[in-house]
């Protein structure tokens, strides 16, 4: 990403420096407040912030003042005033070859999305929008700028707060949040939190927007059953949009009295055109599946420094009579319903959505294939959205899992790695993904069965969440396929069935069943259950986290 973006400077944390070659760090003085500093002669721009942060200049060889160099199209130096085509931001997404690609979005598309949102949902001075999406997701852009542009209140959640349902319930109540966003998988976890059993919980909400994954009818029904807002009921909108367009390009309002099955991704937003085309690039008949192409204002400029990939995915627009018009090929298979709305059917390639993250399975396969001893690697996604990897060669699957942790983010780690003597093939010689075996669900080596009542209850919860029949006291939650989202569900079910509340950090410090049992018992957990919080407190970082709130 650094090679493609060619930034003047990088602001990062000291702990990440080892992963960034050719940097010359300049430590930034810790400060309780954020302050800009004017660089001296020959020094890079810097920012003084609280914590162990550093600023490092990068080599700019071959890059002109306009930001364009030898490696293809760069960001350029144009701004929001030159027709809105100036670059607003670049967001990287997974690449099939193992190299992430940066989509370049312009100011005109962002402005269009914000104006459509305001015209549709009418934010006012009494509204408060919760900003909790990580900045690596484009949803964070409208979370930040929409309330500021509309004169509403912007509420910033603490870092990582989007993974903590109890914190979100409390924050929504405390700051009277009226508008928020959820990826459907996180909405499902949020709705399980026992705090929503209170009829007063989240009563300030008037609008919840979902995007990033398919919204299922059962989840929509559960939302309306759990969120009992005081303003006549909170609205639920299902939105759709790839990274290569300005955030979202279609929208659908969910009707609590008649939830559609399936729930459509909706109709195009303002100044957006949607075309469903066949392999011959001609429109398909009504109801027939076709690849979704996006045209109009939201379409990105292309991929930063990747003219070949830009030409492949951003194709000439045959439906406009002027030169230069382009359509973005999404790779999504969609059909048009009789009412004109769009129904998402799946992907035309190996790209998947897991917990809201867009993942190219080829990127995980490339990372596995680069590890010592691996001859071949194939990654598939199961019906329950678990990633499973299959490898051949002389390998230790536990060692592979640990090595992957150093190369890939948590959401891209397979829940299981299966070693095979050879990959099954079709008659044409391709990998037969349908013939790949299910991961073994038997006991792990050194299995010791649960011995106490609390261990038995915890083992039952783990088995439900992980889909594994045999859970032993020495099993590690994350090594058996657990991840951060399942960890949140685990804590909610511990509270329901054992009557005690554990912080999410407890699982990371005690990931085995035996260790988690000890913490649960120390906190007062018992199979009979009891109300109230336990004696454990959340593990906090050295610097105090803050929630920043701006009110108009």
Backbone angles phi and psi of 121, in degrees to 5 = -110, -10
Q: Which has the closest alpha carbon to 380: 326, 306, 436?
A: 436
122 is a domain residue: yes
Claim to verify: residue 464 and residue 513 sit in the same structural domain:
yes
Claim to verify: residue 361 and residue 496 sit in the same structural domain:
no
**351 has a pLDDT exceeding 80:** no
Between these two residues, 431 and 57, which has the higher pLDDT value? 431
Claim to verify: residue 171 and residue 233 sit in the same structural domain:
yes
Which domain, by its residues, includes 513? Answer: 453-522
Average of pLDDT values for 243-272? 92
Q: Which has the closest alpha carbon to 57: 5, 3, 11?
A: 11
Q: Is 274 exposed, middle or buried (0-12, 13-18, 19+ CB in 10 A)?
A: buried
Claim to verify: residue 367 and residue 336 sit in the same structural domain:
no
At residue 325 the predicted structure's pLDDT band, cuts being 50, 70 and 90, is: confident
Phi-psi region at 355: left, alpha or beta (left = phi > 0; alpha = psi -120 to 50):
left
Residue 272 in 3-state DSSP?
strand
Task: Residue 477: give its domain's CATH number.
Answer: 1.10.1200.10
Claim to verify: residue 376 and residue 341 sit in the same structural domain:
no
Query: What pLDDT does residue 492 have?
Result: 87
Tokens of 20: 């960034």
Claim to verify: residue 167 and residue 185 sit in the same structural domain:
yes
Query: What pLDDT does residue 274 have?
Result: 94
Task: Residue 413: give its domain's CATH number.
Answer: 3.30.300.30
Rounded Cα distance between 21 and 278, Å, is: 45
Tokens of 478: 């994350």
Can you say how many angstroms the Cα of residue 63 is from the centroid of all Cα atoms in its chain? 32
Claim to verify: residue 496 and residue 385 sit in the same structural domain:
no
Residue that finishes a domain, picked among 347, 378, 408: 347
Of 8-12, 102-106, 180-184, the one with minimum mean pLDDT is: 8-12
77 is a domain residue: no
Between these two residues, 382 and 389, which has the higher pLDDT value? 389
Claim to verify: residue 55 and residue 152 sit in the same structural domain:
no
394 is a domain residue: yes
Tokens of 28: 């930034």
Query: What pLDDT does residue 485 have?
Result: 78
Task: Residue 222: give its domain's CATH number.
Answer: 3.40.50.12780
Claim to verify: residue 160 and residue 241 sit in the same structural domain:
yes
Claim to verify: residue 175 and residue 137 sit in the same structural domain:
yes
Say which residue the tokens 């349902």 belong to.
165
**19 has a pLDDT exceeding 80:** no
Rounded Cα distance between 222 and 440, Å, is: 33
Tokens of 380: 């598939």
How many domains does the chain fold into?
Answer: 4
537 is a domain residue: no
492 is a domain residue: yes
Of 139-153, 181-195, 431-445, the one with minimum mean pLDDT is: 431-445
173 is a domain residue: yes
SS3 readout for 364-375: HHHHHHCCCCEE
Q: What is the pLDDT of residues 221-239, one digit of tens each?
A: 999 988 876 556 789 999 9
Claim to verify: residue 243 and residue 186 sit in the same structural domain:
yes
236 is a domain residue: yes
Residue that finishes a domain, picked among 326, 347, 368: 347
Tokens of 453: 């009542």
Claim to verify: residue 229 and residue 302 sit in the same structural domain:
yes
Average of pLDDT values for 398-414? 83
Q: Which has the closest alpha carbon to 368: 423, 420, 394, 407?
A: 407
266 is a domain residue: yes
């Amino acid at each position: 990403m650094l090679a493609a973006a060619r930034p003047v400077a990088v602001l990062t944390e000291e702990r990440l420096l080892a992963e960034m070659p050719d940097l010359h760090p300049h430590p930034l003085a810790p400060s309780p407040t954020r302050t800009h500093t004017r660089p001296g002669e020959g020094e890079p721009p810097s920012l003084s912030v609280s914590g162990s942060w550093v600023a490092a200049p990068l080599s700019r060889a071959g890059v002109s003042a306009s930001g364009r160099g030898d490696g293809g199209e760069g960001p350029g130096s144009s701004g929001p005033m030159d027709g809105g085509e100036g670059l607003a931001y670049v967001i990287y997404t997974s690449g099939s070859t193992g190299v992430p690609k940066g989509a370049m979005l312009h100011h005109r598309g962002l402005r269009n999305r914000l104006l459509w949102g305001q015209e549709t949902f009418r934010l006012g001075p009494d509204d408060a929008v919760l900003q909790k999406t990580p900045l690596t997701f484009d949803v964070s852009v409208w979370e930040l700028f929409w309330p500021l542009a509309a004169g509403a209140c912007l509420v910033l959640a603490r870092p990582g707060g989007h993974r903590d349902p109890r914190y979100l319930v409390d924050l929504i109540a405390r700051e009277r949040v009226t508008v928020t966003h959820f990826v459907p998988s996180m909405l499902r976890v949020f709705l399980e939190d026992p705090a929503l059993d209170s009829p007063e919980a989240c009563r300030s909400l008037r609008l919840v927007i979902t995007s990033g994954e398919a919204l299922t009818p059962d989840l929509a029904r559960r939302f309306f059953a759990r969120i009992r807002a005081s303003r006549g009921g909170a609205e639920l909108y299902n939105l759709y949009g790839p990274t290569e367009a300005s955030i979202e390009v279609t929208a659908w309002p969910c009707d609590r009295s008649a939830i559609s099955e399936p729930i459509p991704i909706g109709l195009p937003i303002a100044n957006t055109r949607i075309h469903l085309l066949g392999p011959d690039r001609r429109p398909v008949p009504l109801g027939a599946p076709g690849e979704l192409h996006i045209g109009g204002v939201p379409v990105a400029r292309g991929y930063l420094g990747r003219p070949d990939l830009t030409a492949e995915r951003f194709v000439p627009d045959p439906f406009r009579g002027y030169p230069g018009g382009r359509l973005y090929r999404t790779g999504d298979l969609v059909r048009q319903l009789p009412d004109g709305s769009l129904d998402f059917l799946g992907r035309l390639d190996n790209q998947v959505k897991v917990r809201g993250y867009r993942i190219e399975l080829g990127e995980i396969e490339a990372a596995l294939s680069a590890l010592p001893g691996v001859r071949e690697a194939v990654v598939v996604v199961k019906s329950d959205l678990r990633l499973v990897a299959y490898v051949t060669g002389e390998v230790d699957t536990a060692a592979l899992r640990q090595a992957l942790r150093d190369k890939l983010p948590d959401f891209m780690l397979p829940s299981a790695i299966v070693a095979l003597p050879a990959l099954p093939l079709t008659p044409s010689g391709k990998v037969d993904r349908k013939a790949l075996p299910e991961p073994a669900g038997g006991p792990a080596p050194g299995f010791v069965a649960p011995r106490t009542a609390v261990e038995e209850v915890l083992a039952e919860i783990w088995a439900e969440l992980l889909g594994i029949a045999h859970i032993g006291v020495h099993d590690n939650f994350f090594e058996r396929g657990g991840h951060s989202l399942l960890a949140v569900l685990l804590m909610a079910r511990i509270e329901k069935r054992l009557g005690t509340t554990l912080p999410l950090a407890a699982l990371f410090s005690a990931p085995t069943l035996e260790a988690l049992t000890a913490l649960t018992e120390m906190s007062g957990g018992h199979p009979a259950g009891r109300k109230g919080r336990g004696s454990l407190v959340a593990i906090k970082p050295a610097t105090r986290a803050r929630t920043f709130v701006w009110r108009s």
